[in-house]
Amino acid sequence: MAAIEMKNIIKTYDDGFPAVNDVSLDIADGEFMILVGPSGCGKSTLLRMIVGLEDITSGDMIIGGKRVNDKAPRERNLSMVFQNYALYPHLTVYENIAFPLRLAKMDDQEVERRVQEASDVLELHEHLDRKPANLSGGQRQRVAMGRAIVRQAEAFLFDEPLSNLDAKLRGQMRTEISRLQRRLGITTVYVTHDQTEAMTLGDRVAVLRKGLLQQVASPRELYEQPVNLFVAGFIGSPPMNFLPATVNGSTLETPFGEVTLDDEKARAVAGKDLVLMGVRPEYFEDASLVEDSKRNLGSTFTARVDVTEWLGDSQYAYIPFDAPKEVEDQLKELSRELDSDQLRTQAIVSIDSTSRIREGRDAEFWIDTRKVHCFDPASGDNLTRDAEAGAKLTREAGEDREADLAANAERDGHPTSAQGAGTAPAGGSTRV
Amino acid sequence: MSRREKNLWIFGGILIVIYALFPIAWIVSLSLKAPSDLSNQQFLPTQVSWENYELILTGGASDLFLPALRNSFGIVLIATAIACFLAMFAAYAIARLDFPGKKLILSTALAVAIFPVISIVTPLFNLWRQIGLYDTWPGLIIPYLSLTLPISIWTLSAFFREIPWEMEQAAQVDGATTWQAFRKVIVPLAAPGVFTTAIIAFFIAWNDFVYGISLTSTNAARPVPAALGLFSGASQFESPTGGISAAAVVVTIPVIILVLLFQRRIVAGLTNGAVKG
């Protein structure tokens, strides 16, 4: 187990394309770090540089206090789960899991003990004699994880490990991975483009865009205090709505009427003509269902609903709006970058599932203006980000995790039993 | 498919099989005929006789045929083994590594393969006589390598290319050196490819006649196809048809055994399950 430090990591391909551009990232010992971003953002490249399958153009990669830039993958003692599992088809499940141990010339008894331990954790006992070809997707996934946890690696690396599974299995394996990581308390780097995985698994999440690191923070901070338009649009599903708004003192004129800002936010947007107001779908509500006590904390507006989607526990309404040309272009560009080609400017609004709002009619909505953010349309920066509140959220997440690890340690006696004795619980050395 | 269409297909299939197998059946039939029976103007021998087999295995022609059989097996197996071994490394390098001259190697291999054998056999004959390789096993193994290596490299590199690169990377992350990853992961996965290549190489070398007849002169290295051409009848007025037929049947048998033996391994299916399909 070890901390991973990246200092100004750059990866340039032969054609001069910088896949990873000046990324500095500290991953604490025992931390679960997620690398997330749309396709082509360099997250997989970064992971492959950690493990040593990709050369580092410049910068320092430090694992457990040692610079590993020039070390071969086998000298770095990391274990990795590949997107397509990369199981050895000619070997049985047992031998697949034992493969790293056999390479390390471990004696048979020790191999037997370790493999049994790993298969205990992953419930693979009845499959040990089978070949990978005869296993289901989820079982293959577990074998790949077995191969990763069987040796005392410094860290686990996951490269989109769940993207080949169907939705139901994905949910199961997600909790499985989370449980396993907490139990073993081992440093983990996990690459995904699925933001549900990012939000649920990570202690901290690093959002990448075109090889540049945008923000590293706990999922809650990313959600509530995003640093810019990109992070705000990427995190959250359905995504945050961006409404063009003209600044007029402390009020914003939006396509959905006027919105009054509190003093702090008004100060932040002072001097700008046009901003993008970011409103998450759940900050909207059907005005007729809002209690009177809350009503004057936000503002109400009337709009024509294009489509509604009723999902049982929730309901979404789509409200088209017109945006000035330059804003529309920018929003289109953003949605293209986020892999979600949005065809028209529309707001997605989450309303109570009991709401009687129907499509094609005018309806009255309420916006909770306390939680809106304002973004600079030119640079994309979040003008109203409360850095202190964000840091607090990340700090709290770190404290929760330490408590978690401590509780696990107490319950299991040996939190890292599958990793053998001699490794201390990870909580103590955690940095937030 | 309608019944009528199905019957047509079956009929057509049978026709082609008969067309392809008839010469072989004829050879078998000839080999079972006694010398006096050879020109009986009918397909089947009037009486099955093992006289021809006795002639080549224990009789007068045996000191020509048996050493040739031994030479053929020895030379061809050695040439096949060397070709597969070398081709494995060459193909791996071509499939996996990026190095200057990669295209050159592949196109040179192809150029060597399409070069007519007959055009180099005369200079080779002179050279071999000069350096003492004439009428020796290595004197045939080397030209056979030039026949088998190009095709081996081509087929094997196609096989290697199909093995997902992640396999090897996974092995390296698991702690394997490049050599260990190659030996423990890539080679087992490429086994069907290696067998296919081995069989193709074996056929090519086994069937060679031109080198065999030109570069040998005695039983020291003469392979079977060349020996068959030197058969003579019991008297100079008798053609050795029966003996040649019997020998032809005998040399076909190892090829058939080889194919039956490795048929399953040739059918590649080993990479199933390596990656999610």
List the CATH number of the domain containing B121: 1.10.3720.10
* CB-CB contact of A241 with A279 (8 Å): yes
Residue B239 has pLDDT above 90, yes or no: no
Q: What is the pLDDT of residue B16?
A: 95
Q: What is the pLDDT of residue A380?
A: 87
Residue B271 has pLDDT above 70, yes or no: no
Would B40 be classed as within a structural domain? Answer: no
DSSP assignment string, A300-341: EEEEE--EEEE-SS-EEEEEE----HHHHHHHHHHHHHTT--
Give the total number of structural domains in chain B.
Answer: 1
* A103 near B CB under 8 A: yes
Q: What is the mean pLDDT of residues A252-281?
A: 87
Each residue of A196-211: pLDDT tens digit?
888 999 899 999 999 9
Tell me if B167 and A86 make a contact (CB, 8 A cut-off).
yes
B119: number of Cβ within 10 Å: 8
The shortest CB-CB distance from A73 to any of B172, B188, B272 is to B172
Distance, CA of B23 to CA of B19 (rounded, Å): 8
DSSP-assigned beta bridge partners for residue A299? A367
Q: What is the mean pLDDT of residues A133-145?
A: 89
Residue in chain B lying closest to A147 (CA) = B174
Q: What is the pLDDT of residue B194?
A: 87
**Both ends of chain B: CA-CA distance in Å?**
30
Q: Count of alpha carbons within 13 Å of A107, Cβ hemisphere only? A: 2
Distance, CA of A410 to CA of A404 (rounded, Å): 10
Each residue of B122-148: pLDDT tens digit?
999 999 999 999 999 999 999 999 989
The one-letter amino acid at B50: W
Would B159 be classed as within a structural domain? Answer: yes
SS3 label, residue B164: coil
Average pLDDT, chain B: 85
Residue B273 has pLDDT above 50, yes or no: no
Question: What torsion, rounded to 10 degrees, do the Cα atoms B98, B104, B110, B113 define?
Answer: -120
Can you read off the two tokens belonging to residue A139? 């079982």
- The structure tokens 């007029």 sit at A248
pLDDT band at A108 (very low <50, low <70, confident <90, very high): very high
* CB-CB contact of B231 with B64 (8 Å): yes
Element (H, E) at A141: helix A137-149
Q: Which residues in chain A have Cβ-Cβ distances shorter than 8 Å to B169?
A: 53, 73, 82, 86
Q: How many CB pairs under 8 A join A and B?
A: 86
Distance (Å) from the C-alpha of residue B50 to the closest C-alpha of chain A?
Answer: 47
SS3 label, residue A201: helix
* CB-CB contact of B92 with B159 (8 Å): no
Q: Which residues in chain A have Cβ-Cβ distances shorter than 8 Å to B185?
A: 88
Each residue of A226-265: pLDDT tens digit?
999 999 988 888 889 998 899 988 888 888 888 888 888 8
The set of long-range contacts for B263-268, using a CB threshold of 8 Å and a minimum separation of 24, is B265/B191, B265/B192, B265/B195, B266/B192, B266/B195, B266/B196, B266/B199, B267/B192, B268/B159, B268/B192, B268/B193, B268/B196
* Residue with more model confidence, B63 or A111: A111
Can you read off the two tokens belonging to residue A159? 């490269």
Chain B neighbours among A 44-73 (CB < 8 Å)?
51-53, 72-73
Q: What is the mean pLDDT of residues A413-423?
A: 43
Q: What is the mean pLDDT of residues A73-82?
A: 91
Average pLDDT, chain A: 86
Domains of chain A: 4-78+153-223 (3.40.50.300), 233-382 (no CATH)
SS3 label, residue B225: helix
B85: number of Cβ within 10 Å: 12
Identify the weakest region by mean pLDDT among A30-44, B147-161, B231-245.
B231-245
By the 10 Å C-beta count (0-12 exposed, 13-18 middle, 19+ buried), A361 is classed as: exposed
Q: Which of B275, B241, B219 is nearest to B45 (CA)?
A: B241
The ipTM assigned to this model is 0.79
Q: What is the pLDDT of residue B82?
A: 95
Q: Which residues in chain A have Cβ-Cβ distances shorter than 8 Å to B176?
A: 74, 103
By the 10 Å C-beta count (0-12 exposed, 13-18 middle, 19+ buried), A317 is classed as: buried
pTM score: 0.79
Q: What is the pLDDT of residue B267?
A: 57
Residue B194: partners with Cβ closer than 8 Å, 6 or more residues away: B84, B88, B156, B159, B187
Distance, CA of A329 to CA of A279 (rounded, Å): 19
* Backbone φ and ψ of A25, nearest 5°: -150, 130
Would B243 be classed as within a structural domain? Answer: no
Residue A285: partners with Cβ closer than 8 Å, 6 or more residues away: A351, A352, A365, A366, A368
Q: What is the mean pLDDT of residues A61-84?
A: 91
pLDDT band at B71 (very low <50, low <70, confident <90, very high): very high
* CB-CB contact of A89 with B274 (8 Å): yes
Can you read off the two tokens belonging to residue A168? 């139901």
* Backbone φ and ψ of A46, nearest 5°: -60, -45
Would B235 be classed as within a structural domain? Answer: no
Each residue of B6-37: pLDDT tens digit?
999 999 999 999 999 999 898 898 888 887 77
Structural domain including B161 reads: 62-230
Q: Hey, which of A19-23, A257-261, B52-56, B243-247 has the most confident mean pLDDT?
A: A19-23
Would B224 be classed as within a structural domain? Answer: yes
Distance (Å) from the C-alpha of residue A132 to the closest C-alpha of chain B?
Answer: 5
> Positive or negative CA dihedral for B59, B60, B66, B72?
negative
* CB-CB contact of A277 with A259 (8 Å): yes
Would B21 be classed as within a structural domain? Answer: no
Distance, CA of A113 to CA of A409 (rounded, Å): 22
* CB-CB contact of A354 with A288 (8 Å): no
Would B200 be classed as within a structural domain? Answer: yes
The shortest CB-CB distance from B174 to any of A100, A131, A134 is to A100
* CB-CB contact of A371 with A277 (8 Å): no
Each residue of A365-385: pLDDT tens digit?
998 888 889 999 888 899 888
* A180 near B CB under 8 A: no
Would B117 be classed as within a structural domain? Answer: yes
* Backbone φ and ψ of A12, nearest 5°: -115, 130
Identify the weakest region by mean pLDDT among A229-233, B15-19, B155-159, B272-276.
B272-276
Cβ density class B30-40: b for 16+ within 10 Å, e for less:
bbbbbbebbee
* CB-CB contact of A270 with A341 (8 Å): no
Tell me if A140 and B273 make a contact (CB, 8 A cut-off).
yes
Tell me if B174 and A103 make a contact (CB, 8 A cut-off).
yes
SS3 label, residue A285: strand
* A307 near B CB under 8 A: no
Q: Which residues in chain A have Cβ-Cβ distances shorter than 8 Å to B277?
A: none
Each residue of B175-230: pLDDT tens digit?
999 899 999 998 888 888 888 888 889 988 998 889 999 999 888 889 988 888 88
Q: What is the pLDDT of residue B265?
A: 64
Identify the weakest region by mean pLDDT among A21-35, A83-97, B56-70, B231-245.
B231-245
* A134 near B CB under 8 A: yes
Query: Is omega for the bond preceding A89 within 30 degrees of 0, making it cis?
Result: no
Q: Percent of chain A at pLDDT above 70?
A: 94
Q: What is the mean pLDDT of residues A343-364?
A: 86
How remote is the C-alpha of A180 from its chain's centroid?
18
- The structure tokens 């907490």 sit at A182
Can you read off the two tokens belonging to residue A399? 């404290």
Tell me if B274 and A137 make a contact (CB, 8 A cut-off).
no
By the 10 Å C-beta count (0-12 exposed, 13-18 middle, 19+ buried), A86 is classed as: buried
Residue B29: partners with Cβ closer than 8 Å, 6 or more residues away: B43, B44, B45
Q: Which residues in chain B have Cβ-Cβ distances shorter than 8 Å to A135?
A: 273
Q: What is the pLDDT of residue A127?
A: 92
Residue A210: partners with Cβ closer than 8 Å, 6 or more residues away: A21, A40, A41, A42
Q: Which residues in chain A have Cβ-Cβ distances shorter than 8 Å to B164?
A: 84, 86
DSSP letter for B163, please.
S
